[in-house]
């Protein structure tokens, strides 16, 4: 199933019996006397779709405070919309109901908002498959979002519209809406909207934008003129700059030279300072080493004195061995004590050998100390020279700074003055560019370039659609149906070149109905989205009774049409579409006998004692 199906339209009130009108999937016919609510049925359906904000005030509706519209929506099943008969927001209920708790249901707004889903319009368009579609509304490409209000002329056709001389495409009757309405038909016949269309400014907007640009540029030029009013002419300023550059020629190289000279001196001094630090550190290390070596030399001298004493004592003891005792005069044989002369001799020899080694090391130490003292002396001389070099560099740097500062000050003054003059020249150049830009803007055309944006269906689509209209009218056995076509110049149905508007009311009504039905048939054949249901109010007006109808006597073409069996074939064809579209026909005249087996028929008798009085009960 494509699109939406209506299931019931019901009215409820606290003091009134529920008035319910049920609909079948295929063809539905509601007919009867005037003033029984047939047209009000169409109005109420539009009201429950959110197309209108209020219901027409009648005596009958005063007894009812709620309206219920049952729907079947693809993918969601059966749903019911509720709305107060006095307007306002909706409530959405699951299932087909005519009553519900006040706390139940999902609130939906009546106002269309394409950016949100909490409104009836977007919900219905999503069910149809046309949600979010954009349609160009003017020749500049400005776009409007499709709403159920805009689509409603293809869903519910009122009696007033169906007989109107205006084209079915131009449902609003407002000339300013014609581009939108033609593009809406294009959307229905192609499934392609205008989202990709490029919007361009309107001519008035372009003129206003051009004037604004010129005014803005003039303001900038005026500001520059104010700044330039206190300076000489541009040529004189340029000559000043040239003279300044000539006078300062070579100044920058001089500044570079003196700066390089000063930088070299500072770099050399920095290197000398680093060298002084290195020499001082090395000298300090050598001084510390010499101090340690001096202590070692003293230790060596002390050790030699000790060893010499041991050597001398051992020599005496060894010499006295085997001699008479110097104290008592006893001979060696008579002496009782053993003085270990061999051991004394060994100690004497060892002391002599150790003393020899220390003497060698002492000599080496003395040589090392002498070498270090010589190195230290050289370092001290070098340090003195480095200090003298630093002092010399300090003097040279001191002497170079004033020259560098003088040249730098001169260059800074030159640069400052040149910057001031260059800024003035830049102001002149900016002014010249602004004047040129102003001339470009003034030369720009405010008329739209290129071809006009295409509007409505192409000629190929219009021809194919016309063929479907021809097929529909042929199925209805409309006279000269084979000569029917859709005319792009009038955006209406023509028969043998005769426009629909040139016919009587009844013929205009049937051709209008053919247009609406053809839109559905075309969408079905092309597998395009369509609303799924169509309400036609009095399409068979030509079958009216002139004496009782408010539309008066039949015109010649109406009388000729009434003499045919078109009404029978009309209902046969509509009934054949039941698998694809639900059609509700509101009529004053009795349907032909054949229609009774093809449609669900509801009769409004306008009689209390016979059948159903009307859509709503007669007020008490």
Whether 341 and 409 map to the same domain: the answer is yes
Domain contains 245 = no
User: 144 forms bridges with which residues in the sheet?
Assistant: 135
Rounded CA-CA distance 492/165 in Å is 10
Q: Residues 478-503: what's their mean pLDDT?
A: 94
Residue 296: predicted pLDDT: 86
Whether 540 contacts 590, CB under 8 Å = no
Q: Residues 367-391: what's their mean pLDDT?
A: 89
- For the beta carbon of residue 237, count every other beta carbon within 10 angstroms: 19
Domain contains 616 = no
User: 66 forms bridges with which residues in the sheet?
Assistant: 12, 84
Residue 547: predicted pLDDT: 47
Of all residues in the chain, the percent with pLDDT exceeding 90 is: 53
User: What are the pLDDT digits (tens) for 315-367?
Assistant: 555 555 556 666 676 666 665 555 556 676 677 678 778 878 888 888 888 88
Domain contains 218 = no
Handedness of CA 173, 174, 178, 181 (dihedral sign): negative
Q: Residues 72-80: what's their mean pLDDT?
A: 94
Does 79 have pLDDT greater than 90? yes
Residue 222: predicted pLDDT: 92
Whether 488 contacts 462, CB under 8 Å = yes
Q: What's 166's domain CATH number?
A: 3.40.50.300
Residue 369: predicted pLDDT: 87
Does 451 have pLDDT greater than 60? no
Whether 47 and 131 map to the same domain: the answer is yes
Whether 420 and 569 map to the same domain: the answer is no
Q: Residues 527-533: what's their mean pLDDT?
A: 96
Whether 30 and 178 map to the same domain: the answer is yes
In the structure encoding, which two tokens stand for residue 201, read together?
């400014």
User: What are the pLDDT digits (tens) for 43-52?
Assistant: 999 999 999 9
Whether 174 and 285 map to the same domain: the answer is no
Residue 373: predicted pLDDT: 85
Range name among 216-225, 239-248, 504-513 with the lowest pLDDT average: 239-248
- Residue 238 binned pLDDT confidence (cut-offs 50, 70, 90): confident
Residue 233: predicted pLDDT: 87
Does 97 have pLDDT greater than 50? yes
Residue 112: predicted pLDDT: 92
User: 583 forms bridges with which residues in the sheet?
Assistant: 27, 534
Whether 424 and 460 map to the same domain: the answer is no
User: What's the mean per-residue pLDDT of the chain?
Assistant: 88
**Of 388, 413, 437, which residue constitutes the final position of a domain?**
437
Whether 77 and 117 map to the same domain: the answer is yes
Count of alpha carbons within 13 Å of 572, Cβ hemisphere only? 14
Whether 272 contacts 389, CB under 8 Å = yes
Range name among 177-186, 303-312, 452-461 with the lowest pLDDT average: 303-312
Q: Residues 26-31: what's their mean pLDDT?
A: 96
Whether 150 contacts 174, CB under 8 Å = no
Q: What's 411's domain CATH number?
A: 1.10.287
Domain contains 498 = yes
Whether 416 and 459 map to the same domain: the answer is no
How many independent structural domains does the chain possess? Answer: 2
Does 80 have pLDDT greater than 60? yes
Whether 98 and 196 map to the same domain: the answer is yes
Of all residues in the chain, the percent with pLDDT exceeding 70 is: 91
Which of 387, 304, 400 is CA-nearest to residue 353? 304
User: Which run of H or E residues covers position 495?
Assistant: strand 492-495
Residue 330: predicted pLDDT: 65
Residue 325: predicted pLDDT: 65
Domain contains 220 = no
Query: Rounded to whole angstroms, what are the CA distances from 336 to 105, 221, 341, 343?
Result: 143, 138, 14, 18
Range name among 59-68, 292-301, 501-510 with the lowest pLDDT average: 292-301
User: 84 forms bridges with which residues in the sheet?
Assistant: 66
Does 612 have pLDDT greater than 70? yes
Whether 470 and 598 map to the same domain: the answer is yes
Give the range of the structural domain holding residue 147, as residue numbers without chain letter. 5-200+453-604
Does 243 have pLDDT greater than 50? yes
Strand order in 484-487's β-sheet? 484-487, 492-495, 498-499
Whether 399 and 486 map to the same domain: the answer is no
Rounded CA-CA distance 470/486 in Å is 9
Instruction: State the greatest distance between any 2 C-alpha atoms of the chain, in Å, as a whole number.
Output: 195
Q: Residues 510-525: what's their mean pLDDT?
A: 97
Residue 496: predicted pLDDT: 92
Range name among 243-252, 339-348, 351-360, 388-397 with the lowest pLDDT average: 339-348
Rounded CA-CA distance 354/361 in Å is 11
Does 434 have pLDDT greater than 50? yes
Domain contains 356 = yes
Domain contains 444 = no
Domain contains 234 = no
Whether 16 and 56 map to the same domain: the answer is yes
Query: Rounded to whole angstroms, what are the CA distances from 101 to 12, 93, 94?
Result: 14, 10, 12
């Amino acid at each position: 199933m494509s699109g939406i199906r209506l299931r019931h339209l019901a009215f409820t009130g606290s003091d009134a019996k529920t008035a319910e009108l049920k609909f079948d999937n295929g063809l539905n016919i509601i007919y009867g006397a005037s003033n029984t609510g047939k047209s009000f049925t169409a109005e109420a359906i539009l009201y429950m779709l959110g197309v209108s904000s209020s219901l027409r005030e009648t005596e009958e509706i005063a007894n009812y405070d709620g309206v219920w519209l049952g729907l079947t929506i693809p993918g969601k099943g059966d749903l019911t919309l509720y709305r107060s008969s006095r307007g306002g927001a909706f409530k959405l209920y699951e299932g087909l109901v005519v009553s519900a708790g006040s706390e139940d249901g999902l609130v939906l707004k009546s106002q269309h908002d394409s950016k949100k889903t909490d409104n009836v319009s977007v919900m219905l368009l999503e069910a149809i498959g046309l949600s979010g579609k954009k349609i160009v509304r003017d020749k500049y490409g400005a776009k409007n979002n499709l709403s159920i209000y805009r689509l409603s002329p293809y869903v519910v056709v009122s009696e007033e519209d169906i007989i109107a001389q205006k084209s079915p495409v131009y449902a609003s009757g407002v000339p300013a809406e014609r581009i939108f309405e033609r593009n809406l038909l294009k959307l229905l016949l192609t499934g392609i909207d205008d989202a990709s269309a490029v919007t361009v400014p309107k001519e008035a907007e372009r003129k206003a934008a051009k004037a604004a640009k010129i005014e803005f540029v003039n303001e900038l030029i005026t500001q520059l003129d104010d700044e330039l009013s206190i300076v000489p002419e541009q040529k004189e300023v340029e000559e000043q700059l040239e003279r300044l550059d000539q006078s300062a020629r070579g100044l920058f190289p001089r500044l570079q030279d003196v700066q390089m000279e000063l930088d070299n001196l500072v770099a050399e001094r920095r290197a000398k300072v680093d060298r002084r630090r290195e020499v001082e550190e090395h000298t300090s290390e050598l001084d510390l080493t010499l101090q340690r070596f001096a202590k070692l030399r003293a230790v060596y001298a002390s050790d030699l004195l000790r060893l010499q004493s041991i050597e001398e004592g051992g020599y005496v003891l060894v010499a006295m061995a085997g001699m008479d005792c110097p104290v008592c005069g006893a001979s060696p044989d008579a002496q009782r004590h053993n003085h270990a002369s061999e051991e004394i001799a060994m100690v004497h020899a060892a002391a002599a050998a150790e003393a020899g080694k220390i003497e060698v090391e002492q000599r080496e130490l003395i040589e090392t100390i002498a070498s270090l003292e010589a190195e230290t002396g050289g370092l001290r001389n070098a340090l003195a020279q480095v200090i003298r070099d630093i002092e010399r560099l300090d003097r040279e740097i001191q002497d170079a700074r004033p020259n560098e500062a003088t040249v730098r000050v001169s260059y800074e003054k030159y640069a400052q003055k040149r910057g001031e003059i260059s800024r003035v020249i830049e102001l002149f150049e900016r002014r010249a560019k602004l004047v040129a830009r102003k001339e470009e803007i003034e030369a720009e055309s405010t008329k739209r370039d290129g071809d006009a944006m295409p509007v409505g269906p192409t000629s190929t689509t219009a021809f194919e659609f016309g063929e479907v209209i021809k097929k529909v009218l042929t199925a209805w056995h409309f006279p000269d149906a084979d000569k029917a076509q859709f005319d792009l110049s009038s955006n209406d149905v023509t028969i043998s070149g005769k426009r629909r508007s040139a016919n009587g009311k009844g013929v205009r009504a049937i051709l209008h109905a053919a247009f609406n039905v053809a839109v559905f048939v075309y969408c079905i054949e092309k597998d395009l989205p369509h609303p799924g249901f169509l309400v036609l109010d009095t399409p068979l007006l030509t079958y009216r009774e002139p004496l009782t109808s408010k539309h008066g006597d039949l015109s010649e073409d109406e009388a000729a049409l009434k003499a045919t069996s078109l009404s029978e074939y009309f209902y046969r064809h509509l009934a054949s579409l039941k698998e694809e579209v639900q059609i509700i026909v509101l009529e004053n005249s009795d349907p032909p006998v054949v229609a009774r087996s093809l449609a669900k028929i509801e009769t409004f008798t306008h009689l209390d004692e016979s059948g159903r009085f009307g859509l709503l009960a007669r007020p008490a």
